Amino acid sequence: METKGMMKYAAVLSVLGAVGMFAYVGYASNMFSYLSEDPKVCINCHTMNTEYATWQHSSHRERATCVECHLPRESLADKIFAKSRDGFKHSFAMTFRTYEGDNIRISESAKKRIQANCINCHREIVSQITANSKLYQTAGESGQIDRKCWSCHREVPHGTTRSLTTTPDNLGVKEI
């Protein structure tokens, strides 16, 4: 009888402990901020300081936020899926330190999304370019050659100097 009572007690305590711990982790990680689209959410972690700072000093600042370029815009489901997957990968990398150095690189799938978003906003300017590029490809290809917009427009929008150590005294970031 006594052990049973003890176990019950332990069970309640450990469930409470787990709930409490979950609440704390939620609080410590600013969990709910990730539901927002505010660019400042991206500098919850210091890894993105330079990306934020360079964007904040670019002409895209007035027109496009982080998620407007980096997440798909076609459907809400795609967007939420991409955001969750990226979010998981980023948390994993932060927690287990699987990223190397301070100079992070974009993933292949994110490149595709961004390219689509470049074209989406600048479609009037690039429509002729995309149409012409089809002429240089074998039948059945997607119509876009491998090069991305930023293969030439290398400074847009983050500049070519963009590792964490390159913007040491950034005020827009330190505001947080």
- For 102, the token pair is 């301070």
Minimum CB–partner distance for residue 65 and another protein (Å): 13
Look at residues 123, 120, 106 and name the one whose alpha carbon lies nearest to residue 74. Answer: 120
Minimum CB–partner distance for residue 92 and another protein (Å): 11
Smaller CB separation from another protein, 100 or 169: 169
Residues near another protein (CB under 8 A): 3-4, 7-8, 10-11, 14-15, 17-18, 21-22, 24-25, 28-29, 45-46, 49, 53-54, 57-59, 62, 94-95, 159, 161, 163-169, 171-176
Smaller CB separation from another protein, 11 or 109: 11
- For 129, the token pair is 């370019």
Alpha helices in the chain (DSSP H): 2-28, 49-56, 66-70, 76-96, 108-121, 123-134, 149-152, 171-174
Cβ-proximal residues to 60 (8 Å cutoff; 6+ apart), any chain: 69, 156, 157
Minimum CB–partner distance for residue 48 and another protein (Å): 11
Minimum CB–partner distance for residue 120 and another protein (Å): 20
Smaller CB separation from another protein, 17 or 143: 17
Residue type at position 90: H
